[in-house]
Amino acid sequence: MRLLLGVTGSIAAYKAAELASRFTKDGHEVDVIMTASATKLVTPVTFQTLTGRKVYTELFGELDVADVRHISLARGADIALVAPATANVIGKLAGGIADDMLTTVLTAFFPKPVYIAPAMNTAMYENPVVRENIIKLTRVGYSFIEPVEGRLACGDVGKGALAGLDDIVEAVYGRF
């Protein structure tokens, strides 16, 4: 299986490194796409080392006229997983905004399976706008891996912590 792993700017981004490692050890090709905010929390080198593959961070990085990268990444993968997914990226996807490498690839990925594992503060997760964005994306075929209750980065305790890694892996493997 070839998996696209989108990593966004949630403090849970460090857990995505373990996901990349697990999928790679299981024999899958993992292409990691990081948002600019994610690179402030975990370096692309971490993911490159764990997957043995190039990590994508910029929409207009190295240009190759023979390869429109956001299209070739979308065409070449079997499944996509965004873990952790911030309210920002969920809102962009729901609004059809494709302004970075991750949202552009995921927009071109349709109708292939996309799993989204949110991680954010409880107030953000329960915000009616975020809830509507999740409903909208679910209606058009995106699958969500619900966050769990736990201690959040701000010290609050509530629903918004990234789902357990075993649950995320199981959801992805359940599709194949």
Catalytic residues: 154
CA 52 from centre of chain: 19
Query: Which region holds residue 155: left if phi is over 0, alpha if psi is between -120 and 50, else beta?
Result: left
Cα angle 107, 137, 110; round to 5: 30
For residue 134, give both structure tokens.
């999740």
- In terms of residues, how long is the chain? 176
Q: Where are the beta strands (DSSP E) in the chain?
A: 2-7, 29-34, 55-56, 79-85, 114-118, 143-144, 148-151, 157-161
CA of 25: how far to CAs of 50, 65, 161, 175, in Å? 9, 33, 25, 18
* Residue 164, helix vs strand vs coil: coil
